[in-house]
A and B are shown apart, each in its own frame.
Chain A
Amino acid sequence: DAGITQSPRHKVTETGTPVTLRCHQTENHRYMYWYRQDPGHGLRLIHYSYGVKDTDKGEVSDGYSVSRSKTEDFLLTLESATSSQTSVYFCAIGSNQPQHFGDGTRLSIL
């Protein structure tokens, strides 16, 4: 299995609070991605990174920010969480090959 670790695996928080999800990889891969999965929508790209400090927006980036200060870590931040951001969040690595996915973070915002 590709060395991808997401933390936390589960989180419950309240509306308006900041939340940061972490993706850590041991594959030294240049490309990293954050997706969210919601019933009836499949997976949708939030943000992606093509190197340290190089990031770009995906399909559903509103309300999210990301940072990548080291090759191995890609952080996803919800500055002020809303109930519509309740979802399962997946990190992935890879390009030009099948992307490999982490185990996901289940985030509930009450």
Chain B
Amino acid sequence: ELKVEQNPLFLSMQEGKNYTIYCNYSTTSDRLYWYRQDPGKSLESLFVLLSNGAVKQEGRLMASLDTKARLSTLHITAAVHDLSATYFCAVPYSGGGADGLTFGKGTHLIIQP
């Protein structure tokens, strides 16, 4: 059974600080997705990581994938309030993901001035 674990589940940090969210998964996968969700809203795709060693960056967010360690990280650099949201990682049940995704429980991130 595929399990996806995120930590921390809750993170309160100050603006300007750096932090990393971790996503571990239990079975082999060559791809991983990161999503953002604002309160009461839908999920927005942030990153698609398709191979071992993949690194993607968008603004103050950078995601990486280590398929051998079954670990992905989402790094936040010099956090700003607008990045406050819940972040999810997700891994396909199998192969390309046609049979759906398994999500972590999410990291609720609050960035305070």
Q: A residues near B, CB below 8 A?
A: 31, 33, 35, 40-45, 48, 50, 56, 58-59, 90, 95-104
Whether, in the assembled complex, B13 has its beta carbon less than 8 Å from a beta carbon of chain A, the answer is: no
Q: How many angstroms from the CA of A41 to the CA of B103 in the assembled complex?
A: 9
Count: A-B pairs, CB below 8 Å: 55
Size category of the B interface is 20 to 34
The answer to whether A56 touches B99, judged by C-beta atoms less than 8 angstroms apart, is yes
List 17 contacting pairs A-B, 8 Å CB cutoff, sorted by A.
Answer: A35-B103, A40-B105, A42-B105, A43-B43, A43-B88, A43-B103, A44-B103, A45-B101, A48-B100, A50-B98, A58-B99, A95-B96, A95-B97, A97-B48, A98-B33, A100-B45, A101-B42
Interchain nearest-CB distance for A43 vs B (Å): 4
Looking across the interface, which residue of chain A has its beta carbon closest to that of B1?
A59
Q: Decide: A45 near B105, CB < 8 A? Known: A90-B42, A96-B96, A101-B42.
A: no
